[in-house]
Amino acid sequence: MRPQIQDNPLAAPVTTLWGVGAERAMQLARLDIHTIEDLLLHRPRRYEDRRHFRTIAELTRDEAATTRGTIVALGLRRFRGGNKSVFEIILDDGSARLHCRWWNLPFMEKYFAVGDEIFVYGKLNETKPRIIDHPETEVIEGGEESFIHINRIAPVYPLTEGLPQRWLRGLIWRTLEKFERHIVEPWPQGRDARPARPSEESDAPAGRPYQFLPTRANAIHMTHFPEELTDVEIARRRLALDEFVALQREMQLRRKNFESKSRALPCGGDNRLMKPFLARLGFKLTNAQMKVLREIRADMNSEHPMRRLLQGDVGSGKTVVAGCAALMALESGFNVALMAPTEILAEQHFHNFSRWFEPLGIKVQLRTGSSKETALQAKKNEAPRTVKPSTFNLQPSTLFIGTHALLTSGFDLPRLGLVIIDEQHRFGVTQREQLVRKGRYPHLLVMTATPIPRTLGLTLYGDLDVSVIDQLPGGRGKIKTFLRTTEKLPEVWKFILQKLAAGRQAYVVYPRVEDSGVGGLKAVKKEFENLKKLLAPFRAGLLHGRLKSREKDEVMTGFRANQIQALVATTLVEVGLDVPNATIMLVENAERFGLAQLHQLRGRIGRGVHESHCILISDAKIGEAGQRLKVLEETTDGFRIAEADLKLRGPGELLGQRQSGLPEFRFGNLAEDLDLIQLARELAAQIE
């Protein structure tokens, strides 16, 4: 157990520290430092090895480095009527002279004096004379505390206006000295912590304790004042592990708590609807789909309500699986709710499920922001609330389909047996819980097409069991992916026109709705006007988020019916859409999209028997953007793509801005720390 707040000295506010008054406290608060513990966990942004530094003569243009020297001259020059200025100091260390300049920051003048000795960190902008513009500097002062700042590896912290680096470093040093002994182990350390060493092949210097993780107190000490730079990573891993253990414990407690309170509704079904449904489907389920359905049926028959995440790459056929799960609950006499992230997707599901389920005597109701009436209608016709599972003459049950409008309070979902959430990464954990609370512990199936790297999966969905559809249905045309520059657009359009002439359809995606004039990004509204002419006699339709629901609906219906051949759209088409005759995906300004997002877009094609083509237009062929796009040319494996995206752009980008369930870590790194997250999961399970 963690000590209670009142007897935990680390929980005291920073104002109880010597030297921290109201103004400093305000500055610290801007860095999110409120308590002593926050201060001790303030992570340095980099380190300077002040035991060895370069002479001024050794500085280069390529690599930032630390040097030190004495100020031999300084001056402020104003020009353009005093609006512009440059402040300059000249340093000498015996090897050479160095000019440091600050443009338009005249107040820098007050921090330096001739004769001061200072540290300078940066790389040369010019070599003759040697100049660094806007370097990081720190004046070297003598005195009894100077040992904190020089002749050691010094931490360099994130700062805020008015807060000096040196002051903060001193404060952290003194606070550590006083409070280090109060830092407790947050969970019992045992032999199981051992595998968490950096890596088997690490070339650890002999005698360093790599086999064992440092204590938390040591790790915090090493983070601020490492003896060697290699200590920093060892400490980071220990503190990251603590963060992961805390999170996993929380999730496991939530799950345990939930299981002790809840008794599952019997929703295993008896196949009487499933049989005719599968017989009329028109295709056979893949082995992967059947395996997942067995897992789902076992859950829905068990003692505790199902909490399951269904992962499957785009096009792997999750919708049918959701349909079968829904039928199990419906056969058992319960209603089912299916929540989708956009109206378009909700409508597509409504369309499919009506076609599938109505012949079976099941009602399908739609509730989106713009269609509330339909669902209210359903409420009026609601069957009596008594639950008589597994008896035969059951009321015909209802499948409710909708967007987050399903969550509206006051909207009742009677006799709710199963909740299905499509494209879960678009919703946060809170919304998941909100929907589940509409019933008495209904079963929950969440589906995601963003293949989630293991690290993220375990952090976001640690409280869910996972099923994976790891096989695509057969009989699909291949998808070829090309990366092209804008110069090649005329040829690309010629190619697309040929495909339209052959009877196929196309998606054309732009990054913006409206032209804002910045960044040279193409906007869908403007391009649509050009494309209408370019593509004639074929018809183009416009789709973006600012259209009214009715307008979106019309365009989508037209596209599905092949009255519209080219859908000119924003990323609104990214999730879920299923139009098998569409075989072209053209994305302009492709460098503006995340990899996982482009993979989703590409997932809209390759759904029918015809060969498909994904064409990514971008002039950013080099650098990080170009490298990213190449990954797409090379693979269609969603997991590989998601991992690359996580490494290149971070979890926020991968999951979309709206993801609200992602915890923030000071030390944990979701792209790298899979071993720690797995270890944390095991440790959390061992802690009572």
Cβ proximity to ligand ADP, 20 vs 310, nearer residue: 310
Of the residues 576, 594, 606, 638, which one makes contact with Mg ion according to CB under 5 A? 576
Question: Per-residue contact track with ligand ADP, 410 to 449, x per CB under 6 A?
Answer: ---------------------------------------x
Look at phi and psi of residue 143 and say left if phi exceeds 0, alpha if psi is from -120 to 50, else beta.
left
Considering only 55-63, 310-318, 332-340, 436-444, which stretch makes contact with ligand ADP by CB under 6 A? 310-318
Among 317, 439, 638, 668, binds ligand ADP (CB under 6 A): 317
Contact 5, 11 (CB under 8 A): yes
Nearest to 238 by CA among 223, 250, 224: 223
Choose one: 93-101, 278-286, 290-298, 484-492; the region binding ligand ADP (CB under 6 A): 278-286
By CB under 6 A, what part of segment 574-593 binds ligand ADP?
A: 578, 580
Q: Closest approach of Cβ 309 to ligand ADP, in Å?
A: 14
- Nearest distance from residue 318's CB to Mg ion, in Å? 5
Q: Where are the beta strands (DSSP E) in 428-515?
A: 443-448, 465-469, 479-484, 505-509
Q: Which amino acid is at 76?
A: L
User: Which residue in the set 105, 283, 430, 437 belongs to the binding site for ligand ADP (CB under 6 A)?
Assistant: 283
Closest CB to Mg ion among residues 238, 318? 318
CA proximity to 185, closest of 219, 225, 231: 219
Cα–Cα distance measured from residue 463 to residue 66, given in angstroms and rounded to the nearest whole number: 47
Q: How far is CA 50 from CA 153, 390, 409, in A?
A: 6, 75, 61
Q: What is the SS3 string spanning 151-212?
A: CCEEEECCCCCCCCHHHHHHHHHHHHHHHHHHCCCCCCCCHHHHHHCCCCCCCCCCCCCCCC
User: Which part of the chain contacts ligand ADP (CB under 6 A), choosing from 285-293, 335-343, 365-373, 507-515?
Assistant: 285-293
Helix count (H) and strand count (E) of the chain?
Answer: 21, 22
| Binding partner at 481 among ligand ADP, Mg ion, none, C-beta below 5 to 8 Å by kind | none
Question: Under DSSP, is residue 569 helix (H, G, I), strand (E, B) or coil?
Answer: strand
Cβ atoms < 10 Å from Cβ of 466: 14
Determine, following the binding rule CB under 6 A, whether residue 265 of this chain makes contact with ligand ADP: no
DSSP state of 422: S
Single-letter residue type at 384: P
Window contacting Mg ion (CB under 5 A); options: 257-265, 574-582, 619-627, 650-658: 574-582
Task: Say how far apart CA 503 and CA 608 lie, in whole Å.
Answer: 13
Choose which of 69, 226, 312, 541 interacts with ligand ADP (CB under 6 A): 312
Q: Tell me which residues in 471-490 interact with ligand ADP (CB under 6 A).
A: 473
Q: Judged by CB under 5 A, which stretch of 39-47, 123-131, 138-146, 571-579 contacts Mg ion? A: 571-579
Distance of closest approach, residue 314 Cβ to Mg ion, in angstroms: 7
CB of 478 to Mg ion, least distance (A): 21
Candidate ranges 149-157, 487-495, 576-584, 616-624; the one touching Mg ion (CB under 5 A): 576-584
Minimum separation from the CB atom of position 277 to ligand ADP (A)? 13
Out of Mg ion, ligand ADP, none, which partner does residue 265 contact, by CB within 5 to 8 A per kind? Answer: none
Of 175, 248, 286, 570, which lies in the binding site for ligand ADP, with binding defined by CB under 6 A?
A: 286
- Binding-residue total with Mg ion (CB under 5 A): 1
What does the alpha-carbon distance between residue 196 and residue 46 come to, in Å, rounded to a whole number? 23
Task: Check: CB of residue 42 under 8 Å from CB of residue 33.
Answer: yes
Q: What is the closest distance, in whole angstroms, from the C-beta atom of residue 316 to Mg ion in the complex?
A: 9
Nearest distance in Å: CB 268, Mg ion: 24
Which of 12, 156, 285, 662 is in the footprint of ligand ADP by CB under 6 A?
285
CA separation, residue 394 to residues 263, 380, 561 (Å): 21, 18, 37
315: contact with ligand ADP by CB under 6 A? yes
In whole angstroms, the minimum distance from the beta carbon of 605 to ligand ADP comes to: 11
Q: Which stretch binds Mg ion (CB under 5 A): 125-133, 575-583, 606-614, 661-669?
A: 575-583
Angle at alpha carbon of residue 337, lines to 334 and 340, rounded to 5° = 165
Q: What's the min distance (Å) between Cβ of 344 and Mg ion?
A: 12
- DSSP letters spanning 476-489: PPPEEEEEE-GGGH
Distance CA(496)–CA(490), nearest Å, equals: 10
How far is Cα 91 from Cα 72, in angstroms, rounded to an integer? Answer: 6
- Contact positions vs ligand ADP (CB under 6 A): 283, 285-286, 289, 312, 314-320, 449, 473, 578, 580, 607
- Contact positions vs Mg ion (CB under 5 A): 576
